[in-house]
Amino acid sequence: MGLDFMLNENLIAQRVKEIIAEQALVEPSEVREDMTLADLELDSLGLVECIFGIEEAFDVAIPFNANNPDESGFDISSVGAIIRQVEGLIAKQAA
């Protein structure tokens, strides 16, 4: 499954949105890249579940530290930011 995602970045974005939507209790189509986690009313537990879900889906390790989310080296300022970094992690892993 990993290869498919690496071949198509849209698929990565779609899968990340699905994972976030699952936690935010909304439809994937309602998740837009400009949205923040606050827009989606995701609390801290929902966020760590998203991180876990993304790690499981793409078999990557996300450098996220819930103690200090702003300085953990993983930008969670918007859905789009998360997607770009996941794409980066997958690309790095493939390299």
Partner 1 sequence: MRRVVITGAGSLNPLGANVPATFAAMKAGVCAIGPLTCRDVDRLTVQIGAEIKDLDPDAHFPRNSIPLLDRFTQIALVSAREAVAQAGLNLTEEEQFRAGVVLGTAGGGNLTVDDNFRTVYQEGKNRVHPFVVPRLMHNAAASHLSMEFGLKGPGFTVSTACASANHAMGQALMLIRSGMADIMLTGGSEAMLGFGGIKAWEGLRVMSRDTCRPFSRDRTGMVQGEGGAVFVFEERERAMARGATILAEVVGFGLSSDASDIVMPDRDGPVRAMRMALADAGLSPDTIGYVNAHGTGTAANDRTEAQALAEIMGAHLPDCPVSSTKAMHGHLIGGTSAVELLACLMALQDGVLAPTVNYTEADPDCPLDVVPNHAREAHVDAVMSNAFAFGGLNAVMVLRRAA
Q: What are phi and psi of 43, to 5 degrees?
A: -85, -175
Per-residue contact string for residues 2-41; x = within reach of partner 1 by CB under 8 A: ---------------------x-x----------------
Whole-number minimum distance, CB 10 to partner 1, in Å? 26
* Residue 51 contacts partner 1 per CB under 8 A: yes
Residue closer to partner 1, measured from CB, 11 or 45:
45
| CA-CA-CA-CA torsion sign (30, 68, 46, 89) | positive
* Residue 56 contacts partner 1 per CB under 8 A: yes
* Residue 48 contacts partner 1 per CB under 8 A: yes
From the list 21, 22, 16, the residue with the least C-alpha distance to 89 is: 16
Residue closer to partner 1, measured from CB, 8 or 27:
27
3-state helix, strand, coil in the chain (%, to 5): 60, 0, 40
The residues near 90 (Cβ < 8 Å, ≥ 6 apart) are 2, 5, 6, 12, 58, 60
Binding stretches for partner 1 (CB under 8 A): 23, 25, 45-46, 48-49, 51-52, 55-56, 61
